[in-house]
Structure 1
Amino acid sequence: MSLDKILSIATKPGLYQMVTQTRAGFVAVSLLDGKKMTVNLKSNVSVLSEIAIYTLQEEMPLLEVFKKISIKEGANKTSISHKADKLALEAYFFEVLPNYDEDRVYASDIKKVIQWYNILQANDLLDFSEPTEAAEKSAKPVAKALTSTAAPKSVKPSAKNSSSKASSAAKGGGKTSKAAVKK
């Protein structure tokens, strides 16, 4: 499975897999305990396929980082816990990705990457095969739905109201408010 339906929800531990969309958000299943929950579109949600790690040259997609971890670990869980100290995490990540930007990638980011890799590996969701065109097309609406907001659209004035003639209120006709009369 690709990372297009795997989500990280702010203030919630672990990762979630999107099941279906609803009118006000979507239904997700926790990869830690299997519990279903509804998530509002106003929640801060990140799709793992949209996340990248800063390197000295360019940003590297998270899937590529997971591939490098998988190669290093032989498709097993990481040899280091995400709860290890900062220096151990940075040393491990330097082995995996030697050109990562140490100024912009913090220890907390490395913890998340290691924890996410272990969760995906435990749930057998690490698939590094190339996605098919059908899978890519079905994943794009998911990412678009998660990034859209429920803000109402602004209403533009109609072309009728923007004529060259002045309105009757501007000519002195029509009702005036008390605030306009009061001096």
Structure 2
Amino acid sequence: MPFDLKEIASISGMPGLYKIIAPTRNGIIVESLAEKPVRSVAQARNRVSILQEISMYTNDAEATVPLADIFDRIKEKYGTNLPVNAKSSTQELSDFMESVLPDYDQERVYASDMKKLVQWYQAVSQFLPYAEEKATDAPAPEAAPAETTSAEDSDNQEDVKEKKAAKKKA
């Protein structure tokens, strides 16, 4: 997944997204994703949600779609110019979600979830690098079989015999 969301978190009681820097005794040190990043400590009592662990409901009761996959779909379809923002109407947000994730569960994905998705995508796309996936269509180069000459084989066999003989003497 091109956006690396392993160290990006949303913290209850703190606006915006944060990059996790290091653990402390009482919580974690985080740095805000902003023009001028500010470091602070998120206490252990705060609920920290890692973005990589978040997913959205689909109409299939058993399946959800990870947030990173949704971000990839948004990047492919819209790039950084989204047709909606966090202040868009519920209908506009719903249309946007349907264009990105057609089978999202309209009963369990609320307008507030869609607003968060838009805000988070804008922050992530602005402050995190997007790593293009490597082309997997090209066949992998096959490793050439190791060729040994008969002289090398006999040298190797003699080395093995010498080692065995040395072990017997010891």
Provide the TM-score with structure 1 as the length reference: 0.66
Which AA in structure 2 matches 1:59? T
Query: Which of the residues 28, 51, 71 maps onto 1:66?
Result: 71
- CA-CA distance at 1:16 after TM superposition: 0.2
Q: Structure 1 pair 16/77, CA: closer, same or farther in 2 (3 Å)?
A: farther
User: What pairs with 1:1-183 in structure 2 (closer than 5 Å)?
Assistant: 2-32=4-34, 33-57=36-60, 58-73=63-78, 75-127=79-131, 129=133
SS at match of 1:72: helix
Aligned-residue CA RMSD (Å): 1.6
Q: Structure 1 pair 56/89, CA: closer, same or farther in 2 (3 Å)?
A: same
SS at match of 1:16: strand
Give the unaligned 5+ runs of structure 2. 135-170
The number of residue pairs the alignment matches comes to 129
Identity, % of aligned positions: 33
Distance 2:130 2:65 in 1: 17
Which AA in structure 1 matches 2:94? E
Contact 2:13-2:46 within 8 A present in 1 as well: no
Q: Structure 1 pair 126/14, CA: closer, same or farther in 2 (3 Å)?
A: farther
- CA-CA distance at 1:80 after TM superposition: 1.3
- CA-CA distance at 1:77 after TM superposition: 3.4
Provide the TM-score with structure 2 as the length reference: 0.71
- CA-CA distance at 1:128 after TM superposition: 6.0
Structure 1 runs of 4+ aligned residues shifted over 4 Å read: none
